[in-house]
Structure 1
Amino acid sequence: MKLNGSIISGDFDQLNNEFMLEKVKHFSTESTLKETQLNNLYDFLYKNKDEADGLVLTLYDQMLIRLNQYEINQFIQDLNDIRSLYQ
């Protein structure tokens, strides 16, 4: 099932119960998120959503992606939408 959120996009594989992350903001990636990993990311963003300076995430331990507070909240909403798909 293809999902296009405000910050992330990818495919949810119902058979394997995992999300294949393809894009974060405008950066392409190929990462598979199991339910626990997605929940950990959600929890981290939720706990830090009020950071005045925003957050910086990394892709492949090299590419930095800056998120302002508005983008953090959009990311949280995208993840929340995906969380409802896990069985």
Structure 2
Amino acid sequence: MQLDGHIISGEFDESANAFLLRKVKHLSTASILNKKQLHALTDYLHKHKHEDDGQVLTLYDQILVRLNQEEVEHFLNDLDKVKTWYH
């Protein structure tokens, strides 16, 4: 299954029960999120989504990607769609 969301893009691998993250905002990446990692990420973002400064993600432990409050909401909406694909 393919997702082209507001903040992220990628595809879900049903056989591996994992989401392959291909793009965050305008930056390409290749990260795999298993169910536990996705839930941890969404839980963290839900707890901190109202912080004035937003959030910062890192890609490849080197590239910082800033998300403002609105982008965090869009990111959470994208992740919520992916959540439904896990079994």
* TM class, shorter-length: over 0.9
Q: Report what 2:74 is aligned to.
A: 74
What is the CA-CA distance between 1:2 and the residue it aligns to?
1.2
The amino acid that maps onto 1:59 is: L
Gaps of 5+ in 1: none
Aligned pair count? 87
1:35-78 CA-to-partner distances (Å, cap 9, x unmatched) read 00011111111111001011111111110000000000000000
Runs of 4+ in 1 over 3 A off after TM superposition: none
Question: Structure 2: how far apart are the matches of 1:59 and 1:16?
Answer: 22
Identity %: 54
Residue in 1 that maps onto 2:63: 63
- Cα RMSD of the aligned pairs, angstroms, is 0.6
Alpha-carbon distance in 2 for matches of 1:17, 1:84: 11
TM-score (norm 2): 0.97
TM-score (norm 1): 0.97
Equivalent position amino acid for 2:19 in 1: F
Instruction: Give, in whole Å, the separation in 1 of the partners of 2:18 and 2:56.
Output: 24
